[in-house]
Amino acid sequence: NGKTTTTYMIKAIAEKAGYKVGLIGTIRNLIGDRIIPTDRTTPESVELQRVFRLMRDEGVQLIVMEVSSHALDQDRVHGIEYLIGGFTNLTQDHLDFHHTMEEYAAAKALLFSACRVGCINIDDKWADNMMKNAPCRLLTYSADGKEASLVAENIKLSAKGVSFTASCDGKRADVSLAIPGKFSVYNALNTIAVGLALGISLDDCAKAMKTAHGVKGRMELVPTDGDYTIVIDYAHTPDALENALKALRA
């Protein structure tokens, strides 16, 4: 959970840093703000290479891409070398295809054998599976007080979003994001970790997060005229629904 929202936030940070960015994902493919139609999270291999070429021809410098476990397992992304890979969490999904959580985790872990840098949420119980055979440099993050490269402290949750202090290598920056729920802290940490791996400063990452928008239908706040809150969310798995309800209750 969190891939789509995180890719949009990474795109926002990279664009503020001056990159021309392409996006490949569940909702749509983008070159800047121009939409390229899509049928699945990660296109078939030939179609994916065509999209890469189109983006390169249009001057895209950085592609932010959702990589599904199906695509990894089916070799749709075989031969691609990633500058940075990010792991948010692993929860029950796609077991009609992978059969067990262990097989699902093994498919996801393939991503980190093809990365130069891996950004890993070490608070997730499957983090060790992602890291144990990864030959890449690892940049870890935590919102639960674990020792990591990047940590979130002084976390505050509200109906309007989250705020926290990000700490990395002795540097600190105040971060706020207008998407409610503790999982928004994790999405923000993953985004900042990717930004740091790109060479963007912690301060610049934090500034970009303040103006980053979520994705329509992903914990989307609807403006109201009174003391109540309306949220639209795409939750369609047991874990996603539980996370959404817990986030709103908090």
pTM of the model: 0.89
Work out the percent of the chain whose per-residue pLDDT is above 90: 57
Cβ neighbours of residue 106 closer than 8 Å, sequence gap 6 or more? 129
Q: C-alpha 246: how far from its chain's center?
A: 20
User: Band of the pLDDT at 157, cuts 50, 70, 90?
Assistant: very high
Mean pLDDT, rounded, of the chain: 90
pLDDT digits (tens, 9 = 90+) for 190-219: 999 999 999 999 999 999 999 887 778 888
Contacts of 73 (CB under 8 A, 6+ apart): 97, 98, 107, 110
In tens, the pLDDT along 109-126 reads: 999 999 999 999 999 999
Place of tokens 């400063």: 201
Distance between CA atoms of residues 6 and 85, nearest Å: 12
Instruction: Report residue 97's pLDDT band, with 50, 70 and 90 as the boundaries.
Output: low
The residue among 133 and 77 whose pLDDT is bigger is 77
Q: How confident is the model at residue 95 (pLDDT cuts 50, 70, 90)?
A: low
Please give the share of the chain, as a percent, with pLDDT higher than 70. 96
